[in-house]
A and B are shown apart, each in its own frame.
Chain A
Amino acid sequence: MRSKIVLALGLVGVPLLLRNLYVILFNLPDEMEQGPVYRIFYYHLPAFFAATLCYTTAMVCSILYLVKKSARYDAIAMACTEVGLAFAAVNLITGMFWGRISWGIWWAWDPRLTWALICWLVYFGYLMLRKAIDDPTERAKNAGVLSIFAYVSVAITWKAIEWWRTQHPGPVLSIRTGEQRIDPAMEQMLYVNTLALATLAAIFVITRLRQEEVQREIDALRRYAHAL
C-alpha cells in the first residue's frame, strides 16, 4: 500500500518538478530589477514552505506521541524532521547563492537569516539528541519535548520577515500581504513549485518512515538474538 502511495506521488511529483524547471528556466521572463537571478526564489521559498510543513507535522506528531505514547508518532516526527532539514538546507544555501549575486556577500547576520540558521541548528540538534539516547522510550520522550520547543524557532523564522525590516526582502506573496507585489504568473509558479517540492517531501518522509520501522525491527531482532 505504502509503495503504491510513493509510486503515485512520484508519478505526480517528478513530472511536475521537471515541468516547473522548464517553465522557470525558459518560459518565465526575467525580473525587472534583479534579472535572471530571481529564479533562485522559485526554489528558495518553496523549500522553506516544504520544511515548515515537515516541522509542523513533526511538532503535531510529537504532541500526539507524548499524549498517546504510540511509537508510530515518534517515527513520523523523526522522519519529518530529517526531511525538513534537507529542505531547510536548500532554503539556506539557495539564499546564500542569491545573496552572493544580489548583495555581493554569501552571508549577513541579518535577524531573518540568523533565525533560519538557528532553526536549522535546533532541528539538527534534535537528530543528534536521538542518536545520543539508546533507550527508545526515553529517546522518544526527550525528542518529543525538544521538537515542541524547537517549533518556536520555526514560528520566529516565519514571522521574522515581518518583524525585522532588514537586508532580507520582505513578504511578497499576496496571501500574506493582501496585495499583489509580484507578477501573478510568478506567484502562481511559486505555489506550483511548492506543491511539487511538498510532494517530493512526502515521498522522502514515507521512505524514511519505512526505514525507521525496519530499524526498529532490527533493534528488536538484536535484543531477541542476545536473549537466545
Chain B
Amino acid sequence: MFYGLAVAWGILAVYAVLLGLREQDLKKQLETLKKMVEEKK
C-alpha cells in the first residue's frame, strides 16, 4: 500500500522537478539569445 502511495507522490514530484529544470533552462536560453541579439544590433 505504501509503495502505491509513494509512487503517486513520486510521479508528481518528478514532474514538478522536471518543470523546474525546464524553467531554468528556458530562462538561460532566453538570456543568451537576448544578449546575442543585442550584440548583433
Give the B-binding residues of A (Cβ under 8 A): 21, 24-25, 36-37, 39-40, 43-44, 47, 83, 86, 89-90, 93-94, 97-98, 101, 200, 204, 207-208, 211, 214-215, 217-218, 221-222, 224-225, 228
Give 24 pairs: A residue, B residue, CB < 8 Å, sorted on A.
A39-B1, A39-B5, A40-B8, A43-B4, A43-B8, A47-B8, A86-B15, A90-B11, A94-B8, A97-B3, A97-B7, A98-B4, A101-B4, A200-B12, A204-B19, A207-B23, A211-B22, A211-B23, A214-B26, A214-B27, A214-B30, A218-B29, A224-B37, A225-B36
Report chain A residues within 8 Å CB of B3. Answer: 97
Report chain B residues within 8 Å CB of A225. Answer: 33, 36-37, 40
Task: Check if A221 sits within 8 Å of B34, measured CB to CB.
Answer: yes
Report chain B residues within 8 Å CB of A97. Answer: 3-4, 7
Given contacts A43-B4, A228-B37, A228-B41, 12 further A-B contacts (CB under 8 A): A37-B4, A40-B4, A40-B8, A43-B8, A86-B15, A98-B4, A101-B1, A208-B19, A215-B26, A217-B30, A221-B30, A225-B40
CA distance A221 to B26 in the complex (A): 13
Minimum Cβ distance to chain B for residue A33 (Å)? 14
Count of A-B residue pairs with CB < 8 Å: 73
Minimum Cβ distance to chain A for residue B15 (Å)? 4
Residue on B with the closest CB to A214?
Answer: B26
Task: Check if B23 sits within 8 Å of A37, measured CB to CB.
Answer: no
Classify chain B's interface size. Answer: 20 to 34
Task: Check if A221 sits within 8 Å of B33, measured CB to CB.
Answer: yes
Q: Is the interface of A mostly helix, strand, loop or mixed?
A: helix
Minimum Cβ distance to chain B for residue A154 (Å)? 19
Report chain B residues within 8 Å CB of A24. Answer: 5
Minimum Cβ distance to chain A for residue B5 (Å)? 6
Residue on A with the closest CB to B33?
Answer: A221
CA distance A40 to B8 in the complex (A): 9
Task: Check if B11 sits within 8 Å of A222, measured CB to CB.
Answer: no
Task: Check if B40 sits within 8 Å of A228, measured CB to CB.
Answer: yes
Minimum Cβ distance to chain A for residue B2 (Å)? 9
Residue on A with the closest CB to B40?
Answer: A228
Report chain A residues within 8 Å CB of B5. Answer: 21, 24-25, 39-40, 43, 94
Task: Check if A222 sits within 8 Å of B33, measured CB to CB.
Answer: yes
Residue on B with the closest CB to A220?
Answer: B33
Residue on A with the closest CB to B29?
Answer: A218
Report chain B residues within 8 Å CB of A90. Answer: 7-8, 11-12
Task: Check if B7 sits within 8 Å of A93, measured CB to CB.
Answer: yes
